[in-house]
């Protein structure tokens, strides 16, 4: 999201200064700009803005029930005997 404005800044500010350079040199300077400015900024932006935003969103998202603690209809019916008690009462 933020890499494109930085690339536009490169085009606006630095590309005019590279007019007398060979295309290979200008392309190398472009990739140096990407590696030295764009990538570190985007990583820091992700770490300081995106990650905290995701954690904040997790707090507001409803949680799913774990399969280990899933409630079955049998557990909800009141007065129902356990399987062991049902077997004992039938004998």
Q: What is the pLDDT of residues 8-62, one digit of tens each?
A: 999 999 999 999 999 999 999 999 999 999 999 999 999 999 999 999 988 888 8
For 21, residues 6+ apart whose C-beta sits below 8 A from its C-beta are: 29
Segment (H or E) for 43: helix 39-45
Q: What's residue 90's pLDDT?
A: 61
**Locus of tokens 């290979």:** 24
Q: What's residue 48's pLDDT?
A: 94
């Amino acid at each position: 999201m933020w890499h494109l404005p930085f690339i536009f800044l490169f085009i606006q500010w630095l590309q005019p200064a590279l007019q007398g350079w060979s295309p290979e040199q200008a392309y190398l300077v472009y990739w140096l700009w990407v590696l030295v400015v764009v990538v570190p900024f985007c990583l820091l932006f992700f770490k300081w803005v995106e990650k905290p935003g995701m954690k904040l969103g997790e707090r507001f998202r409803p949680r799913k029930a774990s399969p280990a603690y899933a409630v079955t209809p049998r557990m909800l019916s009141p007065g129902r005997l356990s399987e062991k008690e049902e077997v004992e009462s039938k004998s």
